[in-house]
Amino acid sequence: MSFRLRVLGLLMLVAMAATAATAWLTLRQANLQVRESVTAGRQEVSRITGDLRAYGFAHGTWEGLSPTVSRLAEDTGQRIRVATENDVLLADSDALEGRAPAR
């Protein structure tokens, strides 16, 4: 085998190894980011439901819930809709901000 072919083969091997390593690192980082995003989403939902539950326990009624929903929506950047089991709307952060509530 000639020297040129051996060098070409070695260069191709190095290029393939570098490409494989880059792909593996990218996939690993993407998986980590997805896991962190899901965890953050769950923590946010837990915080929202915890605050709403605490409001219900403290007041014994949903009267005056709107400021709490507005604050939570502003803090989290999420739309918050509170409704009864019969789908009677108690508070909707879209409506409180003057936007048409989404379904």
Q: What is the pLDDT of residues 25-52, one digit of tens each?
A: 999 999 999 998 888 888 888 999 999 9
What mean pLDDT is predicted for residues 73-87? 89
The DSSP line for the chain is --HHHHHHHHHHHHHHHHHHHHHHHHHHHHHHHHHHHHHHHHHHHHHHHHHHHHHHHHHSS-TT-HHHHHHHHHHH----EEE-TT--EEEEHHHHTTSPPP-
**Better-scored residue on pLDDT, 19 or 45:** 19
Which pLDDT score, from 0 to 100, does residue 103 have?
Answer: 67
Please give the model's pTM, rounded to 2 decimal places: 0.62
Tokens 């091997």 map to which residue?
A: 13
**In the predicted model, is pLDDT for residue 84 greater than 90?**
no
| Helix axes 3-59 and 66-76, enclosed angle (nearest 10) | 170
